[in-house]
Amino acid sequence: MYSDVLDLREFYRGSTGQMVRRLIRRRIRAMWPDMRGQRVLGIGYATPYLGMFAEEAERVLSVMPASQGVVFWPPEGPGRVTLADEAELPFPDMSVDRVLLVHGLECTEELRPLMREMWRVLAGGGRLIAVTPNRSGIWARSDRTPFGLGSPFSPSQLRRTLKDNMFVPEREDCALFLPPTQRRFLLASAPAVEEVGRRWFRAFAGVNMVEASKQIYASAARAKGRERSRALSPQAQPVFGRMAAERRRSTEP
Q: Is the pLDDT of residue 20 over 50?
A: yes
Spatial CA neighbour of 73 closest among 103, 101, 45? 45
Q: Is the pLDDT of residue 240 over 80?
A: no
Which amino acid does the sequence have at 155? P
User: Which residue ranges form the domains of the chain, and what is each CATH number?
Assistant: 5-215 (3.40.50.150), 217-253 (no CATH)
DSSP 8-state code for residue 141: G
Q: What is the pLDDT of residue 232?
A: 34
Confidence (pTM): 0.85
Q: What is the pLDDT of residue 38?
A: 96
- Predicted confidence (pLDDT) per residue in 109-138, tens digit: 999 999 999 999 999 989 999 999 999 999
Give the E-state strand segments of the chain in sequence order.
39-44, 59-65, 81-84, 96-102, 122-133, 167-175, 207-214
- Predicted confidence (pLDDT) per residue in 186-230, tens digit: 899 999 999 999 999 999 999 999 999 998 865 444 544 444 333
Q: Is the pLDDT of residue 143 over 70?
A: yes
- What is the spatial distance between Cα 146 and Cα 16, in angstroms, rounded to a whole number? 11
If you average pLDDT over residues 175-183, what whole number do you get? Answer: 93
**Is residue 84 within 8 Å of residue 55, measured between CB atoms?**
no
**Is residue 168 within 8 Å of residue 210, measured between CB atoms?**
no
**DSSP codes of every residue in 105-134:** TTT-S-HHHHHHHHHHHEEEEEEEEEEEEB
Beta strand pairing status for 39-44 and 96-102? parallel
Q: What is the pLDDT of residue 39?
A: 97
- Predicted confidence (pLDDT) per residue in 21-73, tens digit: 999 999 999 999 999 999 999 999 999 999 999 999 999 999 999 999 999 99
